[in-house]
Copies of this chain bind each other. A is one copy, B any other.
Amino acid sequence: MSIDELDGRLLITMRAHPRIGLTELARLLGVARGTVQARVEKLTARGVIADFGPTVTPEGAGYPILAFVSLQIAQGRLNEAVRALESVPEILEVYGTSGQADLLCRVVARGTPELQEIIARILASPAVQRTDTTIALSIQVPYRIEPLLRAASG
């Protein structure tokens, strides 16, 4: 269920050099190319590597506003609420949560007026009782996974 030291170095190196070939990757890691090939296949099969696709940033695509919206849902209407949220493309991910709120949504928008529209659209669902919006004013630590990989494998 976890990753070993070679897996960690492999993932870190692949992320640092995205276009690297298996041949040079094996050279950097100090192992045979077949080994690298087998490891990558396993990591992909186990779901450690979700995909190799390009990482698209919403900011770059014209959505500079980021907000976290927590929702309180009417009893027994969770699925109905989730279906409504799924239909909003600006909602990037939704988690069921512990605590005061029931759902937590990561939302992006082209601007603050559009953010207001999106929140209004969320509230339009009768399953949603209350919303609480937190706007991300600044990025203090950009998303990173390398330190975790080092900690998990080193």
Contacts and interface: CB of A to CB of B under 8 A. Distances in A.
Interface of A: 1-3, 11, 14-16, 18-19, 43, 46-63, 66, 68, 70, 78, 82, 85-86, 89-99, 101, 103-106, 108, 132-145, 147-152
Given A89-B151, A91-B141, A94-B140, A53 B134 contact: no
B147 A89 contact: yes
B93 A143 contact: yes
Nearest to A10: B54
Instruction: State the oligomeric state as a number of copies.
Output: 2
Contacts of A138: 95-96
Contacts of A148: 58, 61, 63, 89-90, 92, 108
B85 A59 contact: no
Contacts of A93: 139, 141-144
